Structure 1
Amino acid sequence: MLVNRPIIIDDTTLRDGEQTAGVAFKRREKCEIARELVASGVPELEIGIPAMGEDERDTIRAITSMNLKARTIVWCRMSEGDLAAACNLGVDMIDLSMPMSDQQISSKLGRDRAYVLKQIAYMVPKALDEGFEVLVGGEDSSRADLDFVLEVLEAAERAGAKRFRFADTVGILEPFATIEIFRTLGANSGLELEMHAHDDYGLATANSLAAALGGATHVNTTVNGLGERAGNASLEEFVTAGRNLYGFETGVDQRSLNALSGMVAKASGRPVPLQKSLVGSSVFTHESGIHIDGLIKDKLNYQGVDPEWFGRKHELVLGKHSGTKAVQHVYGQLGIALTLAEAMDLIPHVRRFAEAYKRAPDLDDLIALHRNLDECLTEEGSAELALEEGGA
């Protein structure tokens, strides 16, 4: 289903992404990440929490002083103190966040719904007077009474806010409910609508896509899906799936995402899992004989995502599930032409190697297996592997 409309990415790697337990970016790293996000085409960046203190505010100033071609946003509680901390930082927009669910309104704030509506009516104009565009952040919206959320949208719009963020703070939504929620919000409000999804059930990207299908104008993402607990919607997943499945145009260059992922992985100290969708090092690696045979004949046989979108390519390796065509192809790339019989002879030794070392044989291993089937390099290239006599 192609929708073919723009969706604005509001990336929060530098705010919610840094809230990942144990992650702490240096100022230099935050500036570098901000620069690369914008160079990749991300139009909005949520860059910090001013109330954290002067060091955080200095970092926010450092980012805004770069004069990047992106709207900058800071996250604040809906309070005068947090608003004061956000002033004079060079930021374009302020997210004034307020709990939406009765659970949080009562147990966290010790207040009631009337208080929430009064604070919106009071704080939004004050933020506008300070020169900010205002985003009302609906914390825990997914557990709130939807009728009350609609009251909040009405109050926010009346007070002069530009946008409402629907936050699935505890990650309990699923896509079918999400699309209906955003259809309802859009039918009852003229505000921009932003989705903020968490991945507790592994549905953050799916819920963000559903929100966009339902009418969301903006989506929060983080590089590599960083964020509280299980993380947030992944920038690389939303951009790629949104474009190729639904025709959403974000303006983000897919070819930049692999390098951006690596940069954030290094700065965060959170390595990208080998099979992390789209940017994991193994996601375009093939071992199965059936798959490799199909790819050799036509890559479209087993390609749903084109690695060239990310400046990458398919990698064919040998292992326990390799067949003769795979062995011939991989050795052929090394300049070693194998007959069918030679390939069949090598297969059992390749399989035993994979079982023993829990990895695919690398270049040196393959050459050693071919040259002398009685000897094979270990993972460091030095230990011996006993092989049966009679090999090719």
Structure 2
Amino acid sequence: MDKVALSPHNPRIKDAKVIVYDSTLRDGEQTPGVAFSREQKIEIARLLDEARVHQIEASFPAVSENEARTLKELCSLGLDADILALSRVMKSDIDAAVDAGVDLVLLFVGTSDIHLKYKMKKTREEVMAMTVDALDYCRSRGVPASVSAEDTTRTDLDFLMEFYRTAEQNGAARVGVTDTLGCATPEAIAAIVERARKEVKVPLGLHLHNDFGLALANAFAGVKAGAAAVTTTVNGMGERAGNVPLEQFATGLKYLYGLDIGIDCTKMMGLSETVCRHSGLHKARNHPLVGSNVFAHESGIHVAAMLNCPLTYESIPPESVGNERHIIMGKKTGVNYVKKRLEDMKVQASDEEAAEICRRVKELGERNGRVGDQEFKDIVDQVIVKA
């Protein structure tokens, strides 16, 4: 029997090479109130590397001297993943990244009119010149650079294309589409990527926020349109509503779109739990794929079917993302599962006794929400009187 049971109507993404550059240690840490220690960053970086994440955006080293020191240590770990660092189009920022030993500098600069006027306080021409100078400086320091247009999705499209062309002409290894406020739709992301692919030959990256809950959908739309790199974070943590969740993006590409990008999805649960512990952030029980409820079942109809074939109510097995299946006993428990539990306990019971046990389980479940193992055993002992 197949190990997964997915819709045959899902489109397939063929022959695409997609790089994940995970930003848990940078944008993820920009979640208000989160500050990873040096040891925590090293542990998370190692876990990302073990999961075969291609690139790790490890830091914004201009933040502090301690941040720069930690970045340098991360660069010296000998990980298979490339180590990236964020940088403004400023020599001091670039120096902080290059001196730490990064493999790629992630340059960013605001390009929307609102950013130019109120944040950058620069003209389009001035920002373009600053970007060219920054690329020249990265080249002089011997490290490749990508260039992202901050607030891409509110940037004038013609100017955006001119910005990308200029970046490419001046040596950018990649150009980035940044939905800084998470306010674009999948159709908008696809349109920008399609237009950019006609204008430049260098790969396009996506950095997408989740303010409208569309980051994951936008990532898929961008990849289908030809984007070659996507920023993720574990559990989707990050500024405001966060970013594209690593576990959902990698697993979704593999199982929904038929595109295995080489990431070990079985490591996702361990990564998720570690990041929760170190960040102090708690994920919802129904968090997709790595939540405690995702492979938990109580409904008698569902459980009865799953006892015959788990694929009836699980499109992928829980171990494919490192999660576990849980059958919960409560008010919706059916007699078939009661009989299965009795069989596992090697307890013989008549149909009438099994029905009575099920009735009491439901009754206790209505009062307490769920019935634990010991409570179930107590009910069994009460109903089945041993000779």
TM-score scaled to structure 1, two decimals? 0.91
Tell me the residue number matched to 1:344.
355
**Equivalent residue of 2:109, what SS?**
strand
CA contact (8 A) 2:153 2:183 kept: yes
| From 149, 164, 168, the counterpart of 1:138 | 149
Which amino acid counterpart does residue 115 of structure 1 have in structure 2?
Answer: E
Q: CA deviation at 1:139?
A: 1.0
* Partner of residue 382, structure 2: 372
More displaced, 1-10 or 15-24? 1-10
CA contact (8 A) 2:204 2:227 kept: yes
Is 1:128 aligned with 2:163? no
Offset, 1:339 = 3.2
Counterpart position of 2:8: none
Query: What does the per-residue CA deviation read over 1:65-116, in whole Å, with 9 as the maximum and x for residues that have no partner?
Result: 1121121111111122322332311111111110121111111111222222
Please state if 1:330 is matched with 2:337: no
Aligned partner of 1:264 in structure 2 is 275
Deviation, 1:337, is: 4.0
Task: Out of 232-241 and 74-83, give the one that drifted further.
Answer: 74-83
SS in 2 for 1:372: helix
Q: Distance in 1 between matches of 2:165 and 2:38?
A: 38
**CA 79–311 in structure 1, closer or farther in 2 if over 3 Å, else same:** closer
Q: Counterparts in 2 of 1:272-291, with a 5 A limit?
A: 272-291=283-302
Q: 2:91 maps to which residue?
A: 80
Instruction: Confirm or deny: 8 A CA contact 2:270 2:322 kept in the other structure.
Output: no
* Alpha-carbon distance between aligned partners in 1 of 2:304 and 2:101, rounded to the nearest angstrom: 57
C-alpha separation between the residues in 1 aligned to 2:177 and 2:110?
11
Helix, strand or coil: the match of 2:127? helix
Q: Distance in 2 between matches of 1:334 and 1:58?
A: 56
Indicate conservation of the 8 Å contact 1:317/1:330, yes or no: no
Residue type of the alignment partner of 1:366: F
Q: Could you tell me which amino acid in structure 1 is paired with residue 380 of structure 2?
A: H
Counterparts of 1:45 and 1:104, CA distance in 2: 27
Matches within 5 A, 1:146-225: 146-225=157-236
Contact 2:268 2:322 (C-alpha < 8 Å) held by counterparts: no
Q: Distance in 2 between matches of 1:235 and 1:165?
A: 18
| Letter paired with 1:340 | D
Which residue of 1 is the match for residue 373 of structure 2?
363
How far the C-alpha of 1:313 sits from its partner, in A, is 4.1
SS state of the match for residue 107, structure 1?
A: helix
Q: For each residue in 1:163-201, what CA deviation from the matched residue of structure 2 results, as whole angstroms up to 9, or x when unmatched? A: 112111111122222222211111211121111111111
Against the structure 1 CA distance between its residues 228 and 337, is the aligned structure 2 distance closer, same or farther, given a 3 Å change threshold? farther
3-state DSSP of counterpart to 2:182: coil
Amino acid at match of 1:369: I
Structure 1 counterpart of 2:5: none
**How many Å separate the matches in 2 of 1:211 and 1:340?**
56
RMSD of aligned residue pairs (Cα, Å): 1.5
CA distance in 2, matches of 1:83, 1:71: 17
1:331–1:145 distance in 2 versus 1, CA, 3 Å: farther
User: Could you tell me which residue of structure 2 aligns to residue 245 of structure 1?
Assistant: 256
Count of matched residue positions in the alignment of Structure 1 and Structure 2: 372
Change (3 A) 1:182 1:361: same
Greater relative contact order (Cα < 8 A, sep 6+): 2
C-alpha distance 19-324 of structure 1, shift in aligned 2 (>3 A): same
The answer to whether residue 52 in structure 2 is matched with residue 50 in structure 1 is no
Q: Deviations over 1:278-324 (max 9, x none)?
A: 11122101001111111112222212122131244432221121222
What secondary structure sits across from 1:87 in the alignment? helix
Code of the residue aligned with 2:337 in structure 1: it is A
The amino acid of 2:64's aligned partner reads: G
The residue identity in structure 2 corresponding to 1:99 is G
Indicate if the aligned counterparts of 2:174 and 2:202 stay in contact, CA closer than 8 A: yes
Cα deviation for residue 53 of structure 1 reads 1.5
Asked if the contact 2:290/2:323 (under 8 Å) is kept, the reply is no
Code of the residue aligned with 1:131 in structure 2: it is G
How many Å apart are 1:48 and its aligned residue? 0.5
Between 1:78-87 and 1:35-44, the stretch displaced more is 78-87
Structure 1 Cα separation of the partners of residues 275 and 342 of structure 2: 36
- Residue identity (%): 34
Q: TM-score, normalised by structure 2?
A: 0.92
CA distance in 2, matches of 1:126, 1:312: 46
User: Which runs of structure 2 are paired with 1:58-97 in the superposition (5 Å)?
Assistant: 58-97=69-108
1-side partners of 2:81 and 2:312: how far apart? Answer: 40
Give, in whole Å, the separation in 2 of the partners of 1:55 and 1:313.
Answer: 39
* Structure 1 residues 301-340: aligned runs within 5 Å: 301-340=312-351
Instruction: State the distance in 2 between where 1:315 and 1:339 align.
Output: 26
Gaps of 5+ in 1: 374-392
- State whether residues 120 and 159 of structure 1, in contact with CA within 8 Å, keep that contact through their aligned partners in structure 2: no
Tell me the secondary structure at the aligned position of residue 100 of structure 2: coil
The answer (yes or no) to whether the contact 2:106–2:146 under 8 Å persists in 1 is yes
* Structure 2 unaligned residues grouped into runs of 5+: 1-10
Picking from 16, 19, 41, the partner of 2:52 is 41
